[in-house]
């Protein structure tokens, strides 16, 4: 691994690292905030953040304001890039497919299957790397925004027992039922809707019987992408099976990091309670 950024922040350090990923077959970057205790070598629990369409690891670490909250609660926060990248990596001219739009799944269709294995990366490879090279415990939680909110929900639901808590800001809550998701799922997984259901939070809720991890979701009422996000479909799916969900519709808020930063402290506190409980 190579450290490519290093900044003092709220008594700890905000760093960016690059490494060769076995999952994607490409170099991958991730941001990691180390609170003061972790800098001193004391092991701390880890909160993983997954960003949305077009983002890199930089969007979260520079705009979300998470460092001050992570410092207060003594949490490591890890934010990976959103996809594999490089001249040999398949891409698309559109912003909602290809590089910057990995959707946190394992692609099965060409030309995507060679590198687009982001689920393996975020659920397995990255946590193993963090727990090996930093002062991190194996207590994990996960959250994200938009495409990354979809990724956080799906990752937690697909791996019962691996995460202590999960939350999301404006997630693509039912990708199999909206244009953003249908486009990506068709490209990455093929035409069969049964394959899509394995990567759709609203569909996976019906199978989440072994672990009823409560869902915390904040959604801006002024979000211009609300027709693509459809938190109501996820809420209805939870109601059908009695899965715990807290959906907070926030008046006046849009899809931006102004929205995310406004409620970041509450989400970090939510995860800290689970990670240190």
Coil, helix or strand at residue 34: strand
Residue recorded with tokens 């394959």: 195
Helices (H), the chain: 36-39, 57-63, 66-73, 118-120, 126-133, 147-158, 179-189, 193-197, 201-204, 226-229, 231-241, 257-275
In this structure, what token pair is assigned to residue 32?
């990691």
Residue recorded with tokens 């991890």: 213
In DSSP notation, 79-148 reads: EE-SS--STTS---SSTTSBTTB-TTSB--STTTTTT-BHHHIIIIIHHHHHHHHSSEEEEEEEEEETHH
Q: Which residues are catalytic?
A: 146, 223, 255
């Amino acid at each position: 691994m190579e450290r490519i950024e290093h900044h003092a922040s709220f008594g700890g350090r905000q760093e960016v690292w690059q490494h060769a990923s076995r999952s994607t077959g490409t170099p991958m970057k991730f941001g990691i905030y180390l609170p003061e205790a972790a800098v001193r070598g004391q092991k701390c629990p880890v909160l993983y953040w997954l960003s949305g369409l077009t983002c890199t690891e930089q969007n979260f670490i520079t705009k979300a304001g998470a460092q001050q909250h992570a410092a207060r609660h003594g949490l490591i926060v890890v934010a990976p890039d959103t996809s594999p990248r490089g001249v040999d990596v398949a891409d698309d001219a559109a912003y909602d497919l290809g590089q910057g739009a990995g959707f946190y799944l394992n692609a099965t269709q060409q030309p995507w299957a060679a590198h687009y294995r982001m689920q393996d990366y975020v659920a397995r490879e990255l946590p193993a790397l963090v727990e090996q090279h930093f002062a991190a415990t194996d207590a994990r939680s996960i959250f994200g925004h938009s495409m990354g909110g979809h990724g956080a929900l799906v990752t937690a639901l697909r791996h019962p027992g691996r995460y202590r808590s999960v939350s999301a800001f404006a997630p693509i809550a039912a990708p199999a039922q909206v244009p953003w998701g249908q486009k990506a799922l068709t490209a990455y997984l093929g035409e069969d809707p049964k394959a899509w259901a394995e990567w759709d939070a609203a569909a996976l809720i019906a199978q989440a019987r072994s672990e009823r991890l409560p869902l915390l979701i904040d959604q801006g009422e002024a979000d211009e992408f609300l027709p693509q996000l459809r938190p109501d479909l996820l809420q209805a799916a939870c109601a059908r099976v009695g899965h715990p969900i807290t959906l907070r519709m926030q008046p006046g808020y849009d899809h931006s990091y102004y929205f995310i930063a406004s409620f970041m402290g509450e989400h970090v506190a939510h995860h800290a309670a689970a990670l240190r409980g």
